[in-house]
Amino acid sequence: MRLPSRLFGLAAALTVAAPALVQAAEVNVYSARKDHLIKPLLDQFSTESGIKVNLLSAGEDQLIERMRAEGPSSPADILLTTDVARLHKARVDGLLQPVASAALTKAVPSRFRDPQGYWFGLSARARVLFYAKDRVKPADLSTYEDLADPKWKGRICVRSSSSVYNQSLLAGMIAVDGADKAEAWAKGIVANMARKPQGGDRDQIAAVAAGQCDVAIANTYYFAGMLTSDKADEKAAVAKVGLFWPNQQGRGVHVNISGAGMTASAKHKVEAVKLLEFLASPAAQKIYAETNHEFPVADGIQPSALVAGWGSFKPETIPVAMLGENNPVAVKLFDRAGWR
């Protein structure tokens, strides 16, 4: 996979500058998060700590490929991702190193971090069901598994199996129900799709509003983004769509994380640990909640008023590390199910 030329330039600049940066109060971050979502946090960190943050943004797979190619000379100090599966991959590939931090261990619950400290969850995201208010009653919905029932034939919208969010959803099912039941579910969803997978999570929600399907699977923060959008068409679409928390009588709502780890090549270890600790701090967790409408991983931090308005829910409790561990199996099951 080729990186955009602008990324080569930025990364090259970081690489050239690396020797001079060793003694500087700086930290280099490779981030798969949208700049406008992570920049407020990094700016706040720089303001409070005096440590400059050099940010390189790209897709997770691109960044991991870049780090692998750069090897020990990589200028990256922190890898920040949008899903636990990529953090797990980076660890398996030897691209991360463990961090021993009492502050991180205290701030991040054990199920949201790597058992050996290779990565830490920084925000939680719920993947739920969205339904057409005029065609589906909440009482008609129950679980993720129920969507594989033939009664939903031609009524489901969901993005491609290449979406790591869907891969982690299936990985969670593998952890709870086993591979055979997870594969049967994937085949059932394929049979019930209203259209071939296309677009992102917002597109699935918009398709429900447009009448192309009756139920979609998507992350809640995309719904929040549409509700607070300055685009009239997005606001009009979400007004027609309701949010449903599935599996409340069983394992609970599927929960994933965005997270980060210190790279194996880190040249600014002290600064990197300080940044990780800041991102897990109450101040940063509040920014995640209020700006991104994600769920804080730290205990005692409330979600945004918008998210709180959706009501409380029961989340699943499996360690998110299992989502990364089961990712390769999930990908194979999707392929066998014909989920494209």
Give the annotated binding-site residues. 221-222
* Residues, the chain: 340
Q: Decide: 262 and 77 in contact? Cβ < 8 Å.
A: yes
> SS3 for 169?
helix
Query: Which residue type does 148 have?
Result: A
Q: Name residue 256's beta-bridge partners.
A: 125
Alpha-carbon 306 to chain mean position? 20
Asked if 167 and 256 touch (Cβ cutoff 8 Å), the reply is no
Half-sphere exposure for 191 (CA within 13 Å, toward CB): 15
What is the three-class DSSP state of 55?
strand
Token pair of 13 as six digits:
């600049």
Binding residues for Fe cation: 221-222
Structure tokens at 322: 């299992």
Q: What is the DSSP letter of 253?
A: B
User: Which residues, other chains included, contact 26 with Cβ-Cβ below 8 Å and sequence gap of 6+?
Assistant: 51, 52, 53, 54, 268, 271
Other Cβ atoms within 10 Å of 134 Cβ, number: 11
Neighbours of 238 (CB within 10 A): 23
- Look at residues 134, 16, 119, 116 and name the one whose alpha carbon lies nearest to residue 74: 16
Nearest C-alpha neighbor of 122 from the set 301, 328, 324, 252: 301
Tell me which amino acid residue 83 is: D
